[in-house]
Amino acid sequence: MASGIRDKVAIIGMGCSRFGERWESSAEDLMLEAFAEAIADAGIERDRIEAGWLGVFYQEQSVSKSGLPLSMALRLPNVPVTRVENLCATGTEALRGAAYAVASGAVDVALAMGVEKLKDTGFGGLPERTKGTFEDQWQPGFTPPGAFAQLATAYAARHGVGIADLRRAMAHVSCKSHANAVKNPKAHLRFPITPEQVLAAPTIAFPLGVLDCCGVSDGAACAIVTTPAIAATLGKRDHVAIKALQLAPSNGVEMGHESWDGSHTLTTPIAAARAYREAGITRPGEALDLVEVHDCFSITELVLMEDLGLSEPGRAPADILDGRYDRDGALPCQVDGGLKCFGHPVGASGLRMTYEIYSQLLGRAGERQLTSPSLGLAHNLGGIPNRNVASVAIFGLASPP
């Protein structure tokens, strides 16, 4: 019977570029920036890497359809490279490939890289992709803000929450992330905002305003993984272990069946349940020390608190306003600033979230360091509420055998 990959894979090095409007840098430059930090952190030679996974979503705007830009930019030693894409979970998908290769025994050391170069595309938001049945048949003319605005109104209707009260909680989500990003030199938007500014900002798709939306940016993040036994030989006496890594994609029910009311995501609870089971967690709200969730919009973070089982149904607005997810709250969320302040270079976001948890667990987060965290969760939601892929990864401190 399958046992998962709990404690079979150690992360021995990570790197993250500065996120932002990186006009001066190519996608390859951003990959090198992240890789240089990761390989130095791992303390190994480049020749130890036996396989690599490159996560890119908008390949035509970034690095092309091939995985070769990874091996060429990093001068990898002629090892297998694979390019992957899984909507906004693309970075996590790259990590999954590398982790599964190590856990299976196929390789000893593997690399995962996520990168996206969006600011040079000429689009104000995310660029258009090639259309097809996936887009045209089910969601012609949709926009991400419009889709998540519908999530907000459906949530309010289901739980009897007034829109004004919901918007106050959403404003707190945005303000929390901005306050945290001030302490993070790699974040894109490093300035505080007030609830009044959020509520008075121009409307994008009611009830979402400009300051409820994450930005568009360029960035890259990288992880190097191996077995716990090899980590020990490298002097990593305490390392960050992958406790769980689970994905759940939509199967079409949301788009074609009335059993879903649009007030939550169907995939996140499924991925979360699988991840908690793999990690051996029965009470996630008590076990976890920090979380990074896919806050593409403020309402998304709010809803995900319930989808992940961290707030009771209908309680997320109150929990948020009570400070439960603040940096000094019971379960800090987005302590690095989240997508809200890093932006969302799609291929990089999942690994960027992992980088923050990795840094926190090892006590390397500088000004934003939490007190002795030992278990963290990273969540991605790729797509829109009625067709998406959810990924849930759990990381913890572990001692080598």
The residues annotated as belonging to the active site are 88, 344
Burial 290-329, CB ≥16 within 10 A → b, else e:
bbbbbbbbbbbbbbbbbbbbbbeeeebbebbeeebbbbee
Continuous segment of H or E residues that includes residue 387: strand 387-398
**How far apart are alpha carbons 323 and 332 in whole angstroms?**
9
Which residues does 237 contact at the CB level (< 8 Å), separation at least 6?
399, 400
Residue 297 and residue 145 in contact, taking contact as beta carbons nearer than 8 Å: yes
Q: Which of 294, 351, 380 is nearest to 53 (CA)?
A: 351
Q: Which of 269, 214, 275 is nearest to 388 (CA)?
A: 269
Q: Please say whether the dihedral angle defined by the alpha carbons of residues 281, 273, 294 and 248, taken in this order, is positive or negative.
A: positive
Which residues, in sequence order, are bridge partners of residue 88?
A: 86
Continuous segment of H or E residues that includes residue 230: helix 228-233
- Taking phi first (over 0 means left), then psi (-120 to 50 degrees means alpha), and beta for anything else, what does residue 235 get? left
- How many residues can be counted in the chain? 401
CA distance from start to end of the chain = 23
